[in-house]
Structure 1
């Protein structure tokens, strides 16, 4: 039997709160089934996710949980983009909601946090879904300066979103960006609070870093994990090039790679139903 929560779509999911430690985490939950907890991108809040992607996951028998990191959006606490602190937020939310056998997911910096969860709290999760993110350790391909120049713009508009999350050279990708932006804009009530742009820019810096995720010990942990990992990426991700995952071929024993052509940093917004279906198949067929 469907509950009111499971029947609610992403556009109308209510904001909920849980007190953990010295902070209150804001979250939303839709669907029923295996829980998947999604860690957000840089400058993302509860409203940064494409509702079509979340609804497609729910249609594939997931309970989909999104949340605001500590001190950001509607959550309280000291704000940070330290992946280890963000992983604590995910862990504490999993514990507070008593989620058993959860999938940990993450987009961009959220994908870094998800990898930390796999390494430090493996008993909490069954699978990891990493979207548009980077592996820890050395890189074979750096980020592009264009991302740093664009992501730091205080009030970026549609054309900036195309640069950041899609493939501007592809007419199909640009059209997908337009549709995604329209879907996200449909939620007009009970929205989260934007991430402070000046603070985020100070964390980001102005130039590409190498490595992008300096955590060699974490890389070593991923080399021996038995938790299935899936990375979903675009073939032209200007901040976290997918080539850095392929460079780890035969080093990460549980890693599967799904790469969409003519796509960028947000493949789940360009291909929401396909991404959700791939994720569902991955979770169902790996253990």
Structure 2
């Protein structure tokens, strides 16, 4: 059986573009939407394999025009959500658990709001809720996201630089990610991606009243998995909504940044499996 490191890149033609995806594991379909500047190779294999070991059919993909996919490239969240919906349709998956990391979490929320019948569970990782926020992200993210990143940038972006344990987790995660050496997706050019961000944090980051209302009225179980020091999308914004979203669970890891599933890959995968199998 394929793993995250060995699953071949496959393609589907849909809507006038070719979406690249990888599909491995067997069981409950779980579609994962990517972070900003990410490709399929940006996921930690230990996290993905942990999901597959827990009985998921794991599906990852590159957004239109990015990585190995063709089409018009954009970070418009509605377009990213359309990619996810089109891929589910092309793979003839009527309903799936849908997850998203960072901007991918915004796309996953839009997918829930627009085609709720396709989503059995919503797994949000280090992302932002729609609407007014109680805490904005840090300007540092906007500086780092607009340049080529070295290891120290990765630590600052996705881990907790002040924690020795988090820094060690960053080293281990980067080594695992580097373990796949063939059939890689081309990197997203930072020269193009950077200007898509704007100059700094906005509040709200995601002004979608329809999506917020969908979260307030959905019966679909929702979980947010975050770190206690996310410089991009502070987890405090989810805690502020805990009394308003009827199906929301919140998991917050200590001494952790914007990549909780990379710092705690097995624990994150095990929790997601328990959530999907038991939350109704």
* Length-normalised TM-score, structure 2: 0.99
Does 2:272 correspond to 1:282? Answer: no
CA contact (8 A) 1:34 1:101 kept: no
1:49 alignment counterpart: 43
Does 2:55 correspond to 1:77? Answer: no
1:16 alignment counterpart: 10
Deviation track 1:90-129 (CA, whole Å, cap 9, x = no partner) reads 0011111111431000000000000001111111110010
1:104 alignment counterpart: 98
- Residues in 2 aligned to 1:193 and 1:256: alpha-carbon distance in whole angstroms: 35
- Residues in 2 aligned to 1:147 and 1:277: alpha-carbon distance in whole angstroms: 29
2:27 alignment counterpart: 33
Matches within 5 A, 1:174-213: 174-213=167-206
CA contact (8 A) 2:145 2:190 kept: no
Matches within 5 A, 1:160-175: 160-175=153-168
- Residues in 1 aligned to 2:41 and 2:198: alpha-carbon distance in whole angstroms: 24
Matches within 5 A, 1:90-239: 90-153=84-147, 155-239=148-232
Unaligned runs of 5+ in 1: 1-6
Out of 57, 61, 68, the residue aligned to residue 62 of structure 2 is 68
* Length-normalised TM-score, structure 1: 0.96
CA contact (8 A) 1:50 1:184 kept: yes
SS of 2:71's equivalent in the other structure is coil
CA RMSD of the aligned region, Å?
A: 0.7
CA contact (8 A) 2:54 2:269 kept: yes
Aligned length: 280
- Residues in 2 aligned to 1:147 and 1:54: alpha-carbon distance in whole angstroms: 25
Deviation track 1:65-97 (CA, whole Å, cap 9, x = no partner) reads 000000000001100111111111000111111
- Structure 1 segments of 4 or more deviating over 2 A? none
Deviation track 1:119-143 (CA, whole Å, cap 9, x = no partner) reads 1111111001000000000000011
- Residues in 2 aligned to 1:205 and 1:235: alpha-carbon distance in whole angstroms: 25
CA contact (8 A) 1:23 1:77 kept: yes
Unaligned runs of 5+ in 2: none
